[in-house]
């Protein structure tokens, strides 16, 4: 009964996250569909529904529980060789100012393409992009710079992490992303079931 209550409460506590992002340069439509579906699959257990918006789509009076702004740098094309601009330290990063996590992040498409290889399947690129976006949204929603040892919240990804069929956020990271009341109920219920 408690598990049903937690499940129902979690569904009732779904929050909308507006993700403002221009379409990544060079990304084909198929990769984009995969990216959006994979991101929603990853964030659904945290009670988040992602609404993709562009800055041009903004309307007066729109209200979202959470907002993030993303930029995709470079060329996100699977059939083009990646350019070689200055190498950045990571595939993606979130803005921090005076110790506060800001709702802005960027994804380095050129570096991702170099890592994965320029002849990869479009579906794998979409999956990889979604996992990078999910990682940065974890930092923004949970308001933490902490990383985990495994899953989408870990500090560094391998090619396998980015492209395998399954790669998830771990339970601790999901609980950090949920509203406080749902996170407390989920933690107490998982303790009662012996997990």
Instruction: Determine which of 83-92, 122-131, 180-189 has the lowest per-residue pLDDT on average.
Output: 180-189
CATH number for 111: 3.40.390.10
pLDDT at 81 over 60: no
Which tens digits make up the pLDDT trace of 104-116? Answer: 999 999 999 999 9
Confidence check: pLDDT of 186 > 50: no
Confidence of residue 181 (pLDDT cuts 50, 70, 90): low
Amino acid 57: pLDDT: 81
The pLDDT tens digits of the residues spanning 5-52 come to 444 444 457 899 999 999 999 999 999 999 999 999 999 999 999 999
Number of Cβ within a 10 Å radius of residue 39 = 24
Closest CA relative to residue 130, chosen from 195, 47, 35? 35
CB count, 10 Å around CB of 74?
21
The arithmetic mean of pLDDT across residues 60-76, rounded, is 91
Cα 139 from Cα 86, distance rounded (Å): 25
- Which of 122, 48, 37 is CA-nearest to residue 79? 122
In this structure, the strands spanning 92-97 and 100-108 are antiparallel
* pTM metric for this prediction: 0.83
Domain count, the chain: 1
Q: How confident is the model at residue 87 (pLDDT cuts 50, 70, 90)?
A: low
Domain range enclosing 85: 2-192
């Amino acid at each position: 009964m408690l598990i049903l209550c937690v499940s129902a409460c979690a569904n009732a506590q779904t929050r909308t996250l507006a993700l403002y992002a221009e379409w990544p340069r060079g990304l084909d439509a198929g990769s984009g569909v995969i990216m959006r579906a994979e991101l929603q699959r990853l964030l659904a257990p945290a009670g988040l529904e992602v609404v993709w918006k562009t800055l041009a789509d903004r309307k007066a009076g729109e209200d979202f529980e959470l907002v993030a702004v993303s930029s995709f740098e470079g060329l996100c094309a699977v059939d083009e060789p990646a350019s070689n601009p200055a190498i950045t330290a990571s595939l993606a990063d979130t803005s921090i100012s005076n110790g506060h996590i800001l709702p802005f992040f960027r994804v380095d498409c050129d570096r991702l393409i170099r890592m994965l290889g320029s002849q990869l399947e479009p579906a794998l690129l979409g999956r990889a992009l979604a996992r990078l976006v999910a990682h940065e949204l974890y930092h923004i929603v949970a308001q933490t710079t902490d990383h985990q040892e495994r899953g989408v919240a870990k500090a560094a990804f391998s090619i396998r992490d980015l492209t395998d069929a399954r790669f998830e956020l771990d339970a601790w990271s999901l609980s950090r992303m949920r509203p406080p009341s749902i996170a407390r109920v989920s933690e107490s219920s998982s303790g009662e079931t012996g997990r």
